[in-house]
Structure 1
């Protein structure tokens, strides 16, 4: 059974991408190497991480952190089926959790209790597509949410979130297009970045930041 390590060689990724894509290489050298993410090595509970993703959806960072802190205080700081079961819907709503998010948290907890949410150990033997397929049936969990987990927590090297507006904007700036590429166009464009499409995505986000800073300056 194949086992997937968390994280990848960012130096090898830098050399590969700069060699395969001249335009991207120019931006990469301008921005500089992006180091490995320390979260790639840290232990985490996928259910807890997904629950927090649900809490943060469609909220400003400050508002989401405030609600998250109240839920943490009520559950003891770890979100999973047992701790969420301690709170009824009214108590979650009193923490500031919307009705739709309460339903999403309940569905997540139900699926965890039924063994439908893979553990971190199980994910170590699962392909990216299998992890996505296992998690997106959960209410409130879309493909983008799982892709962020794959990139930033599991350190998978070859994930390109083609629906992400920041990534699409970065690709538009990279290729000096009049409009952002469609997700399908970006997927095709990103074929040359494999097997390090995650690292390319990190740079596409940075390109947007760099362009905004240059414009502001």
Structure 2
């Protein structure tokens, strides 16, 4: 994560409450794999793929999509050279195919900020910049902030994995609502991305 002492962050989370401390003990060291070698366009493509589907399905579609581009995350120009049928053939819905193609247009013409430009923006500015694009909502922008840009204090309260993870870690009978999680997350500032990672891992326990 950007300019972050991970040990300090994990210690602060551990001290926040007993349930989080127990979760950290069960999961182990924080090991978030960043995709910072990818451009924002490539990271957004991945996030679009994973919108509202399971991790297993998302990985399968990503693999088939990347196979169209020699096994690599596609560049904007390469996407624009494909047909809609080719992209949908890997398992993308019509809406996701159009979103990815639209992003490719804006990345190619420079209206989608690159990595250097993104690094100069705040989290809120990035979300505002990205969500003007078709098919890009707050969740998709937040995934880029966490996994591509390594921002340490992102809290994706609408994410189903976060909601399920909190239910598991805190022994709840029902999934917490996003509005509830929004307030709960205040205790983990400014390390909510790290808290998110641990809650995602709770689903694997």
Bigger Rg over Cα: 1
Query: For 1:114-193, what aligned pairs fall within 5 Å after superposition?
Result: 114-193=109-188
1:45 Cα shift? 0.9
Instruction: State how many pairs are aligned.
Output: 201
Give distance in 1, aligned partners of 2:22 and 2:119.
Answer: 34
State yes or no: 1:44 paired with 2:42: no
Give 2:24's match in structure 1, choosing from 18, 24, 28: 28
Specify every segment of 5 or more residues in structure 2 that has no aligned partner in the other structure, as ranges.
Answer: none
What is the TM-score with the length of structure 2 in the denominator? Answer: 0.84
Matched, 1:205 2:200: yes
Change (3 A) 1:114 1:144: same
2:96 match: 101
* Equivalent in 78, 95, 104 of residue 83 of structure 1: 78
**Are the structure 2 counterparts of residues 77 and 180 from structure 1 closer, same or farther at C-alpha, using a change threshold of 3 Å?**
closer
Give the TM-score normalised by the residue count of structure 1.
0.79
Moved over 6 A (4+): none
Which structure is higher in helix share? 1
TM superposition shift of 1:185: 0.3
Cα distance change, pair 138–21 in 1 and its aligned pair in 2 (3 A): same
> Which runs of no fewer than 5 residues in structure 1 stay unpaired?
211-217
Relative distance call for 1:30 and 1:115 in structure 2 (3 A) is same
Q: Give the superposed CA RMSD.
A: 2.6
Partner SS for 1:111: helix
